[in-house]
Structure 1
Amino acid sequence: MKTSPSRNRRADARRSRAAILDAATQVLNIEPDAGLEAIAAAAGVTRPTVYAHFSSREQLLLAVVERITDEAVAAMDAIAPDAGTATETLLRMIDASAHVAERYPVLLKMISALPVSTEVDRDRHLPVADRIGRVIERGRQAGEFDDRLPVDWLVASTMALGHIASTEQDAGRLHATAAKDVLRVSLLRLLGAAEPADA
């Protein structure tokens, strides 16, 4: 049975879009000021093809953010989120997310400087926040975490601490190991959790 021309066009469009996002992620992580022409060349497509998928550089950046978020979520899901204690799970999740972030230091710094509304920023972080929230709920129910503070506050604080640790590392005020240790201790104190036995 022959594949219809429209199906072939859709498949080609998906491949082009994926190639553009791959190229944008790689190029902008090296040269954040690179234009769409450089990204098109790296993707092996024309500039009009880039514009056919993304109407502006800002739209392309939003799609790159979504891709990195998907990568971080996949890494968090891959650490067996229901295995072990909630404390162990949360620390593994934070490590998994940090490993993804470490691959895109320049790109993430550029993205964090972009002016976005509170709603856009919240939506951008929602998949990560949802997973952290579920683990915190599990820890509270198991008696591992202090239940006197609202879950949403703990989720927001956990994510904020992660961003601060990354910022301090990028600024050279903490090296990678120290940033990881400081974040770990801060989270355990925030949640009222004990150090895991395998620490």
Structure 2
Amino acid sequence: MRSRAAILDAAVRLLNTRPEAGLQAVAAAAGVTRQTVYAHFPSREHLLTAALDRVTEEAIAAMDAADLDTGPAADALLRLLDAADRTAGRYPVLLQKSHALPADPKADHERHEPVTDRLREVIRRGQEAGEFDGRLSPDWLAVVVIRLAHAASDEAAAGRMPEEEAAGALRVSLLRVLGADESAAARGAGGA
């Protein structure tokens, strides 16, 4: 098990700086043989997928540390987004490389499900407290949040918007979609 963890740690570090690095380079960085890498990951694609799962686990831990059960739901949502953004900011190259992976809808759904669960709970809490509009389901709104976050990230990555502007637009857009009051939207615009 330690070999697998060492390989994943090395893969996350190496693929974030050298996205085209091969399994031999990952093995060297992990201090194991290439055969050991293959014993855990039958292909580079499997290793890249596992590295993305590792980054997702890190993002989820950061979200959980953001104390999503306290304070206004709008503030909790913004803390969740900040936690996700900080994690993504540490792995920009690796996450960009993930877009080149063949899309497996089931695996993608499973990877996003823990994030979706946390979003859904914050949204549900906001609806129950009257902070967010309750006419749309938390399931739908969680999907919208994820899609808008990806859109903001794509705009910044493509250079069509500065990162700070994309983050601010995302915050205001999300709070408006959720039907948060204007003071929450104003706080969201200032927090970018």
Match of residue 49 from structure 2: 62
Q: Give the AA of the match of 1:190.
A: V
Out of 62, 80, 86, the residue aligned to residue 75 of structure 1 is: 62
Matched, 1:37 2:29: no
Taking the aligned partners of 2:120 and 2:7, their CA distance within structure 1 comes to 33
Aligned-residue CA RMSD in angstroms? 1.2
List per-residue Cα deviations over 1:54-104 (Å, max 9, x = no partner). Answer: 111121112111111100000000011111011100011001101100111
In the alignment, residue 26 of structure 2 is paired with which amino acid?
A: I
Matches of 1:107 and 1:62 in 2, distance apart? 10
Q: Structure 1 residue aligned with 2:104, among 109, 114, 117? A: 117
- CA distance in structure 1 between the partners assigned to 2:104 and 2:26 by the alignment: 26
1:191 alignment partner in structure 2: 178
SS at match of 1:161: helix
Distance 1:178 1:132 in 2: 22
Q: Which of 80, 85, 93 is 1:93 aligned to?
A: 80
1:106 aligns with 2:93: yes
1:110-165 Cα deviation digits (max 9, x unpaired): 11221122222111100000000000000000111111112211000000111111
Q: Which amino acid in the other structure matches residue 108 of structure 1?
A: L
Aligned partner of 1:57: which letter?
Answer: R
Aligned residue in 1 for 2:117: 130
In structure 2, list runs of 5 or more residues that go unmatched: none
TM, length-normalised to structure 2:
0.93
Amino acid at match of 2:169: V
Q: Tell me how far 1:24 sits from its aligned partner.
A: 0.6
Structure 1's unaligned 5+ residue stretches are 1-13
When normalised by structure 1's length, the TM-score is 0.90
Aligned residue in 2 for 1:156: 143
Instruction: Name the CA distance, whole Å, in 2 between partners of 1:117 and 1:99.
Output: 26
Partner of 1:9: none
- The amino acid that maps onto 2:71 is G
**Separation (CA, whole Å) in 2 of partners of 1:141 and 1:178:** 31
CA–CA separation in structure 2 for the residues paired with 1:26 and 1:113: 18
1:81 partner SS:
coil
Inter-partner Cα distance in structure 2 for 1:104 and 1:168: 17
